[in-house]
Amino acid sequence: MAKKLSNFESLVFLPIKTIITNICCCRLNLLRKVSPFQYSDFSKQPSSLRNQDSVLMFNMEGTLLKSPSIFPYFMLVAFEAGSPLRALILLLLYPLICSVGGEMGLKIMVFVSFVGLKAGSFRVGRSVLPKFFLEDVGLQGFEMVMRHERKVGFTNLPRIMVEGFMKHYLGIEAVVGREMVVFHGYFSGLMEERRPYEPSLNSEIIGFDCFNNSLGQNFQSPFKAVHLITEAEKRTWQTLPRSKYPKPLIFHDGRLAFRPAPLASLTMFIWLPFGFLLFIIRTLIGTFLPYQISIPLLHVTGMGGFFSKPQSFHPDKSKGTLYVCNHRTLFDPCYISMCTNKPLTAVTYSLSKFSEWIAPIKTIRITRNKDKDMKLIQELLTKTDLAICPEGTTCREPYLLRFSPMFAEVANDIVPVAIDMKCTMFYGTTAGGWKGLDPVFQLMNPYVWCELKILEKVPQCMVCETGGQSRVEVANYVQSEIGKALNFECTSMTRKDKYLFLANNEGFVTS
């Protein structure tokens, strides 16, 4: 019997065992070719492997990003650079993408997301994706990568999607990814074949990758060491906190305020018709009903908020008050009007005609001609209260842009107003898209929460006319007071900086 089992084993199990052994040996031999060392803890590497002369080669998806799915990033490209229809097609193809998987699934996502897009105007990789990449970065992987001064990043994604993130926020020396095929200035939806990367570096090379990736296949020179992690290790990683971002995330664009995973994307498309109906209802309520009725009704529709003002707040009715607020959305002056329970006029710049048509309060455009604008504002203050946003543009993150000091020269009664806005599905602002849709997307959110604090009036000793302060000192004082109230960081960044970074223009809207 034992002999029969031995023969059966030799005929059946031995060949299977031999195949498995050969596969394991091939994998081991590959690792030995690129790495004579293996480390279970990257932080315990010999210091000689982390000196200034060494270069770290790492795979972005395998070592930085916690999520194993790259579908949300292609959904962002399809929605933000393309259209909701393109994004819907990508979502409907998701079962097929999962079934074919691997390289074929990647090619399908690339084709649907990119085909027909104009190559010269593609800015999603710099203005939209970095925010979502940063929110998906694992703290442990980030610390491993940033331990080296010189780094080369590999990615299975098209290079144009990740280069802005890796170079601007991580300081990566070079990014190696798939190149998109361009035909007559438009993406064809196809990627070039992988090309092995051979660096011209006279340095020791250290590899960092995940077991299921193929860093070694894209790199021809031998590694001095390779560290491989598992998906189980990545699941235990913490998310990189904002305080440890290499560069602060101040500017980002795009309409989606959530990570568009498949289920979340499906929820969004189901919500869109209901959201558009909600936009119409909220617009009608806010435009035609008095505040005593509209505020409770808007709260019922999901537009909640918390308003506060000091007990000493008693605006002078004999002359206009200038409310100076930070800028989160187009509706900031509307919320100030609701909080004070009286109509006021909003001083605007570069606002779309559609936004002016549906505004529940009066809007006045300024021209950026200082003399004309100062004269106009001073004239208006003799008739009504004004709300002005001296940042000149919206900022989504907990930062305040530099306040333009013009407002300090036109009024003595200056009241700072601190505003913070939270949305659940869509951002109601854009730098590179059509601004006419800003109020539509803002009011399509299932839930919106606004916190508004009217602060103490600027003391007379701190204004230009009676206190002898310069206009810049007054503007900086108001900015700092609003920053303290919101716990936001004050910056010297301007409107021009934002639009040049996100949209490569200065933010003008054509009438």
Average pLDDT over the chain, rounded to whole? Answer: 85
Separation between Cα atoms, residue 81 and residue 60, nearest integer Å: 23
Indicate whether 319 and 218 sit together in one domain: no
- The residue from 193, 212, 243 where one domain ends is 243
Question: What pLDDT is recorded for position 173?
Answer: 85
Average pLDDT over residues 280-286: 95
What pLDDT, on the 0 to 100 scale, is given for residue 198? 67
Helix intervals (H) in 101-202: 102-114, 124-127, 129-136, 139-146, 159-168
Q: In this predicted structure, what is the pLDDT of residue 221?
A: 52
pLDDT value at 33 more than 50 = no
Q: Are residues 161 and 277 in the same domain?
A: no
Q: Which domain holds residue 446?
A: 262-502
Read off the tokens for 155. Answer: 């990615």
CATH number for the domain including 146? 3.40.50
Which CATH number fits the domain that encloses residue 413? 3.40.1130
368: left (phi over 0), alpha (psi -120 to 50) or beta: left
Query: Are 201 and 114 found together in one domain?
Result: yes
What total of structural domains would you count in the chain? Answer: 2
Question: For the whole model, what pTM was predicted?
Answer: 0.85
pLDDT tens profile 47-64: 444 555 678 888 899 889
pLDDT of 313: 76
Strand ranges (DSSP E) for 361-456? 362-365, 386-388, 399-400, 414-423, 448-454
Considering the domain architecture, whether residues 214 and 295 belong to the same structural domain is answered as no
pLDDT at 23: 43
Q: pLDDT value at position 202?
A: 65
Q: Is the pLDDT of residue 182 over 70?
A: yes
Determine, yes or no, domain membership for 94. Answer: yes
Mean pLDDT, rounded, for 482-490: 96
Give the H or E element holding residue 186: strand 186-191
Q: Are residues 491 and 354 in the same domain?
A: yes
Whether the pLDDT of residue 324 is over 70: the answer is yes
Question: What tens digit of pLDDT does each residue of 391-438 get?
Answer: 989 999 999 999 999 898 888 889 999 999 999 999 999 988 888 899
- The DSSP string of 257-326 is -S---HHHHHHHHHHHHHHHHHHHHHHHHHHHS-HHHHHHHHHHTTEEEEEE--TT----TTS--EEEE-
pLDDT above 90 for 272: yes
Single residue among 178, 213, 243 that ends a domain in this structure: 243
Residue 253 placed within a domain: no
Query: Is 490 among the domain residues?
Result: yes
Q: Please indicate, yes or no, whether residues 215 and 287 belong to a single structural domain of this protein.
A: no
Most confident segment among 30-39, 48-57, 70-79: 70-79
Is 234 in the same domain as 270? Answer: no
Is the residue at 475 inside a domain? yes
**What is the distance between the alpha carbons of residues 86 and 506, in angstroms, rounded to a whole number?**
29
The answer to the question of residue 408 being in a domain is: yes
Statement to judge: residues 351 and 381 lie in one domain: yes
> Are 68 and 60 within 8 A, CB to CB?
no
Residue ending a domain, choose from 216, 243, 270: 243
Q: Which of 429, 414, 388 is nearest to 473 (CA)?
A: 414
Banded model confidence at residue 38, pLDDT cuts 50, 70, 90: very low
pLDDT score, position 115: 95
Contact assessment for residue 250 and residue 257, using Cβ atoms and an 8 Å cutoff: no
* Stretch 487-507: mean pLDDT: 88
Same domain, 324 and 467: yes
Residues 241 and 234: their CA atoms lie apart, in Å, by 16
Domain membership of residue 350 (yes or no) is yes
**216 & 129 share domain:** yes
Does 273 fall in a domain? yes
Confidence of residue 296 (pLDDT cuts 50, 70, 90): very high
201-255, pLDDT tens digit by residue? 566 788 887 776 655 455 545 677 778 888 888 888 999 999 999 999 999 999 9
Question: Does residue 79 belong to any structural domain of this protein?
Answer: yes
Res. 373: pLDDT tops 60: yes
Residues 174 and 277 in one domain: no
Same domain? For 209 and 325 the reply is no
